[in-house]
Amino acid sequence: MKKKIGIILSFVIVLIILGYGIIVYVDYHKVVNGELPVFANYSDNGIYKGLGYIVEVRYYQDTDMIEEMHMNWFGKTIGGIVQCIEVQNENQDNVIIENGNIQNENKIDEFIDNANHRKAATLQINTILNEKTDMTQVEFIPGEYYDEENEQNMAVPSANATTEEYQAIYGYYKITVNGEETGRYDSLCWHMRRIVKDNIVQVIMEAYLIELTEKPVVCEYSLESSNYEKKFELTYVARKDMGVKKIAEKNQFDNLDFGVYTIAGDVLITIEGDMVYSLEDALNQGVITVQDILEQVKQDEKYGICEIGYYNDGGSTEYRYAEYTILKYNTLDGNKDMIIGMQGTIINQVNASGYIES
């Protein structure tokens, strides 16, 4: 009996020692990488107290940027950092992907927006995996084709123009990894965007005019660590008829000047994983708003969760998901209605259904 108790006590002691070791290691790893500890509690004057150790933190005056940090274990300094403010500012300007988790993701948005508007831009991505860092730089170099002040001055490539001439005229993306150039992509045929696969966000180069099986990946990171937020899930349930059903009148919700419809089906909304409403009930009860839906689809398009299609009728847009499509009219004659229907292109079915705008 005593032997059994001794074994149990030894096992418990080993678990306690292992647990304590893990706690100390995690906070040590945080400190030497310039991050605040997670298991130590803040005391005062920049002191974090843990079990048997303390972390001392000093910030640059009137900022939240760490200047110096040290970890003392039973009175002995075992790790720390000293950072100049220039390094801090540089890190704030870079995208950091550490073990799949991203920081400063907004820099990707800024770069894509500038490139789409043909402005010179540079994106620096530092990918850290198992303490090894790869540095990727993406540059967008505008071309000579666009002259906002005088269209007569727009450069046009010759019939037998080379790839380099196309790049110089239309602009191009240049990608280097650890100082070595890995690719150039002219902006006439290519653009940079996100897609999501198995909860992993990939930033890729995608071709406009040609369909490629392999799409060059600039970087990737976990969806969970990104700025993406899914507030609800839409489910489209097909009906037997192909008619259009009115869900909301113009100005009925959110003071929006358009109506909401479904075609050939009904829509369910799931919130917080298990709360299911019909679209009508969700809007009537104020569970979600029409604006919430529009904001969600725009975010989904940004992350490549749905595809987008435009029409030359004034600016109508389709957001095409795997199971359904959301059509947002914006025609020259003033139609701004929103219609949810089956997967694929639905604008022709809607126009042929006898639907009359609000």
Q: What is the pLDDT of residues 40-87, one digit of tens each?
A: 888 777 888 888 898 898 876 666 677 788 888 888 888 777 765 445
| pLDDT reading at 3 higher than 80 | no
pLDDT of residue 92: 65
Greater pLDDT, 34 or 127 = 127
Predicted confidence (pLDDT) per residue in 82-92, tens digit = 765 445 545 56
- Residue 273 domain-assigned (yes or no): yes
Q: Supply the pLDDT for residue 155.
A: 62
Question: In a 3-state reduction of DSSP, which class is residue 200?
Answer: strand
357 within a domain of the structure (yes/no): no
Name the pLDDT band for 269 (thresholds 50, 70, 90).
Answer: very high
Residue 358 lies in a domain: no
Domain boundary among 197, 225, 253: 225
140: tokens are 């967008």
- Assigned domain for 110 exists: yes
- pLDDT for the residue 14: 79
Whether residue 110 is found in the same domain as residue 170:
yes
The answer to whether position 31 is within a domain reads: yes
| Residue 212 shares a structural domain with residue 328 | no
In this predicted model, what pLDDT tens digit does every residue of 21-41 receive, in sequence order? 888 888 888 888 878 888 988
pLDDT at residue 85 in the model? 46
Which pLDDT tens digit goes with each residue over 174-225?
999 999 999 999 888 899 999 999 999 999 999 977 676 678 999 999 999 9
Model pTM score = 0.69
Final residue before a domain boundary, out of 160, 191, 225: 225
Which of 64-73, 221-230, 346-355 comes out lowest in average pLDDT?
64-73
Q: What is the mean pLDDT of residues 101-110?
A: 94
In a domain, 115, yes or no: yes
Task: Tell me the H-state helices in 94-221.
Answer: 106-116, 163-170
Name the range with the highest mean pLDDT among 75-84, 228-237, 250-259.
228-237
Residue 321 domain flag:
yes
User: Region 141-157: what's the mean pLDDT?
Assistant: 63
pLDDT for the residue 64: 67
Supply the pLDDT for residue 145: 66
pLDDT digits (tens, 9 = 90+) for 111-125: 999 999 889 999 999
Instruction: Answer yes or no: do 343 and 245 share one domain.
Output: yes
Q: Are 185 and 264 contained in the same domain?
A: no
What rounded mean pLDDT belongs to the chain?
86
Q: What is the pLDDT of residue 324?
A: 97
Range of the domain at 221: 94-225
* 258 & 341 share domain: yes
Q: Per DSSP, which regions of 223-334 are E strands?
A: 233-238, 244-248, 260-263, 265-271, 275-278, 307-310, 317-320, 324-328
Query: Which residue among 49, 81, 113 closes a domain?
Result: 81
Choose among 173, 94, 81, 86: nearest CA to 127: 94
Check whether residue 159 and residue 46 sit in a common domain.
no
Specify whether 348 is located in the same domain as 331: yes
Q: Is 162 left (phi over 0), alpha (psi -120 to 50) or beta?
A: beta
Same domain assignment for residues 325 and 205:
no
pLDDT, tens digit, 9 for 90 and up, residues 296-309: 999 999 999 999 99
Does residue 218 share a domain with residue 239? no
Burial class (CB in 10 A: 0-12, 13-18, 19+), 169: buried
Token reading at 212: 């490629």
Does 294 score more than 80 pLDDT?
A: yes
Averaged pLDDT for residues 241-249: 89
Could you tell me if residue 182 is inside a domain? yes
Domain identity same for 217 and 131: yes
- Beta strands across the sheet bearing 265-271: 233-238, 265-271, 275-278
Same domain, residue pair 238 and 219:
no
For residues 192 and 175, the answer to whether their CB atoms sit within 8 Å is: no
**pLDDT given for residue 300 in this prediction:** 96
**Do 192 and 104 fall into the same domain?**
yes
What's the structural domain count of the chain? 3
Show the tokens assigned to 314. Answer: 């004034």
